[in-house]
Structure 1
């Protein structure tokens, strides 16, 4: 699978190739800031297949958190593009940044529902987790 996307203003573009390792919706408080209040829809893509094809993102990591993620966003329009998690050999791509968001399909599960707001919707029957799902294998 080859996915292309970028920011709202077009200054930063990316290509993500490979099969999604996971697709989810995150309800954590941090994602609520980034999404404007709703859950954040994302897909975890192989790091080897990810590259920026135009421009360079600005990066931000909180200095007050142990093992803080790095969030990458457009330095011009502020669109949040990716998240990099320490120890995860993958790139977390935001579904809304895809040129064709329908390629996202559906999330496999909802995570960090401990921070879920009353107006956040989780499809009936979809697995949900207070934090992260249990690690496989």
Structure 2
């Protein structure tokens, strides 16, 4: 599978290849900050087949978290494009909304951190669901 995408203003562009390592929605409180209150829907792709083709993102990692993720976003428009996680060292986590064709995502294989879901969020019942991260 080959995908392309970028930020809202067009200053950041990327391409990724290979098969998705994971397709999921996360309901943790941290993700709610990034999405404006909804679940964070993402696709983890092999890092070896990912590259930025235009522009360079700005990175942010919370210094107070032991294993804080690196969030990559457009320095111009602020679109959160990707995440690099120590929990998935061989993957880049792409935000589905940044894909040129979000329909290639299909649907999540799982939901996680559902213990943090808000009453207004819909958690699908027909896929694997975890109150915390899988394996915890």
1:127 aligns with 128
Tell me the distance in 2 between the aligned counterparts of 1:62 and 1:8.
24
Instruction: List gaps (5 residues or longer) in structure 2.
Output: none
Give TM-score scaled by structure 1 length.
0.95
RMSD: 1.1
Counterpart for residue 51 of structure 1: 51
Determine helix, strand or coil for the equivalent of 1:32.
Answer: helix
Q: Superposition pairs for residues 20-31 of structure 1, below 5 Å? A: 20-31=20-31
User: Could you list the runs of 5+ residues in structure 1 that have no partner in the other structure?
Assistant: none
State the distance in 1 between where 2:85 and 2:124 align: 26
Three-state SS of the structure 2 residue aligned to 1:68 is coil
Runs of 4+ in 1 over 4 A off after TM superposition: none
Count of aligned residue pairs for this structure pair: 135
**How far apart, CA to CA, are the structure 2 residues paired with 1:59 and 1:75?**
9
Q: 2:108 matched to 1:113?
A: no
